[in-house]
Every structure is written in structure tokens, then in C-alpha cells.
Structure 1
Amino acid sequence: MANYPSPKFMECLQYAAFKHREQRRKDPKETPYVNHVINVSTILSVEACITDEAVLMAALLHDVVEDTDATFADVEQLFGADICGLVREVTDDKSLEKQERKRLQIENAAKTSRRAKLIKLADKLDNLRDLQVNTPTGWTEERRDQYFVWAKKVVDNLRGTNANLELKLDEIFRQRGLL
């Protein structure tokens, strides 16, 4: 990848921003949700030293099918089969009950491609960093603690993918008494 974002990357960023434009995080400040997908892509680029533009673009789109009206067909038409395949690998099936989706994330983590695992690791890292400083509106401290425990189970099945991200996640787990 060049030292600057490609036009296609910028189109992807704009698409993600447009699709997530009305969404807010559940933190007390109701942060715009698009910040999360930008954070995930940035974590991959800056902290994990990933230069694979398709992975960085898929990170921007990792929640677009799950959380907006976008479809896999839309993603494939706009950004190609490779990026769509990565998005598909990291997308939960929202037709399933929440606990089943969480169980499947743990179970399926080890089966995904290395590139999808990178996105999953960066996603968990961003979510856990946020949870360290913010309790989502409506969450109890117990639910917050349970999220850390669950996320560690997912991360444990992603290990061996990127040492930088895993070290940063382990530091969070250590702080929470999970290591």
C-alpha cells in the first residue's frame, strides 16, 4: 500500500460513515458509532502494522451488514469479493439469539482466516478499551465484567495471529484479573 489512502479506501470510509451515520455507541457520551469502525481500522494499521488494504477496508465495514441496511451483495458490488468475504467472516447472524451469537463467536474464532482474525482482535481491543473507561448505558458492573470474560474466550481462540494486538489485549485482561 502507498503512504496515502487509495481512492477506494476513502470511498469505503465514506460508505461506512454514511451507513453508520445515525448510530451511537452505548457509552454515556453517545459517541458516534462510526468512530468504532475507524478505530478498528486504525488499530490494525498503526498498532498491528497491517498494510493489507483489503483488511483495513473490511475493518471499516466489519459491522455494516450486521448493524445497518447494507447487504453482502452491496459490499461485494462496491468493494469486491475479497473484502466482502472478510466482512462475511466477521459478521454475526442477527437472526440468532444473542447468547447463541456470543457462543458462536467463541467457537468460530479459531476457524476464521488469519485476515479475519486480525479484524476480530482489533475489534475486541477497541471494545475493551472503551469498556475500561465507560460502562454502557443500562449495563450493570456484573454485565461489564462478563463481557471481559467472554471477550477473553474469543481472543484465546484467535491467538497466534498478531503479537502486538495480543500483548495489548493481555494487558487489559491482566488489569481485569483474568490472566
Structure 2
Amino acid sequence: MIFQTAYQRAIRFAARQHQGQLIPSSALPYVVHLSNVAMEILAAEHPAGFDVALAVQLALLHDTLEDTAATPEQLATEFGPAVAAGVQALTKNDALPKAEKMADSLTRIRQQPREVWAVKLADRITNLQEPPAHWDAAKIRAYQQEAEAIRAALAGGHAYLEARLRGKIADYGAYLPE
């Protein structure tokens, strides 16, 4: 399949699934977040053999299982088993206590191809924007520390995105009160 066709199919599917959802603490449609994650993938310098088409589809679809009524079977039918498996790895397991969800997801991501790792890095890069006004210093610090845990857990997966995340983590410290 031609890359542009794969991109268009994935963004249309994601837009339909996330219809009516907004980026938290924003008036922007959720698809803006998804396209920003895809942009991080598209703008990155990739290692040899990196499947950009797979990574972009994962970027656009990464929250469909977590935040919509989409099913793994739908993803497999529409986009194939690699996309479905990658999105499943990127999806937090709601049956687990909150404190265990990220570690579990990172374990599953590490069992996937490096394109899945790259999407998790790109997702956190995108999420390290100015925090919502209602977050206190402890929440901001915890989010920054979780970002560092993601970077460390996925070290060696994608050098460019790891370096970009490292910079975003450092910059995020500016939101902490002195």
C-alpha cells in the first residue's frame, strides 16, 4: 500500500473513532494530538530498516483502544496484525492498579518492533507541553519523572526520539515552581 493511502486511512479511522473528543484541558479536537504524534514520527531521523508507514499508522491509532469503542479485531481487519498488536501494546491495561499500568505497557512495548517504541517516545514528546493550570507541582514533577522512566525503559529503541524526549524532559522543568 502506498504510504499516503495508509496515512489517510488511519487518520480517517482515528478521526471517526475519536469524534467529539477533545484534548484534555483544551478546546482542540483529539485528532490534533494524534497528528502531532505522527508529525514527530515523520520529522524524526530514522535508523536503517525503520518502517515509517507502520509507525505513522501506530501514531495515528495509538489511543483508539484506550479511548474509544474500537476493538483489536477492527484494527486487525482494517490495518493488519502488526498495527493491532502495536496498538494493544501501547494501550494501558485498565484491569491493573494505576501505579502498575505504565510499567506493564512498557514491558509489552519492549516485546514489539522498534516502531512501537518510537510511537511511545513520540507520544510522550507530544504530551510534554505546558501542563494544565490545575496541576500542582507534585503532579508536574511526577509526569516529568514518568517521562524519564519511559525514556529509560525504551533506551536503544530510537536514538533521535530518545534525544528529543530527553530535551523535552529538561525543558518541562521550567513548569515547576521555584
Task: Give the TM-score, by structure 2 length.
Answer: 0.84
Correspondences of 1:1-179 after superposition (within 5 Å): 5-6=4-5, 8-27=6-25, 29-49=26-46, 52-128=52-128, 130=129, 133=130, 135-136=131-132, 138-175=134-171, 176=173
Task: State the shift of 1:121 in Å.
Answer: 0.8
Task: State the shift of 1:105 in Å.
Answer: 3.6
Task: State the shift of 1:47 in Å.
Answer: 2.3
Cα RMSD after superposing both structures: 2.2
Consecutive aligned runs of 4 or more in structure 1 exceeding 3 Å deviation? 48-51, 105-112
Q: Is the 8 A contact 1:40 1:59 kept in 2?
A: yes
Report the more deviating stretch, 92-101 or 53-62.
92-101
Percent identity over the alignment?
A: 26
Q: Is the 8 A contact 2:22 2:30 kept in 1?
A: yes
Task: State the shift of 1:31 in Å.
Answer: 2.2
Task: State the shift of 1:114 in Å.
Answer: 1.3
Task: State the shift of 1:141 in Å.
Answer: 2.5
Task: State the shift of 1:12 in Å.
Answer: 1.3
Q: Is the 8 A contact 1:152 1:173 kept in 2?
A: yes
CA distance in 2, matches of 1:137, 1:98: 22
Q: Is the 8 A contact 1:93 1:101 kept in 2?
A: yes
* Compared CA separation, residues 138 and 102, structure 1 to 2 (3 A): farther
Q: Is the 8 A contact 1:64 1:70 kept in 2?
A: yes
Specify the SS of the correspondent of 2:41.
Answer: helix
Specify the SS of the correspondent of 2:149.
Answer: helix
**What is the CA deviation profile of residues 64-113 of structure 1, one whole-angstrom value per residue up to 9, with x for unaligned ones?**
01110000001111111121121112111123232221332455554443
* Compared CA separation, residues 99 and 105, structure 1 to 2 (3 A): same
Specify the SS of the correspondent of 2:156.
Answer: coil
Task: State the shift of 1:137 in Å.
Answer: 5.5
Task: Give the TM-score, by structure 1 length.
Answer: 0.84
CA distance in 1, matches of 2:45, 2:138: 31
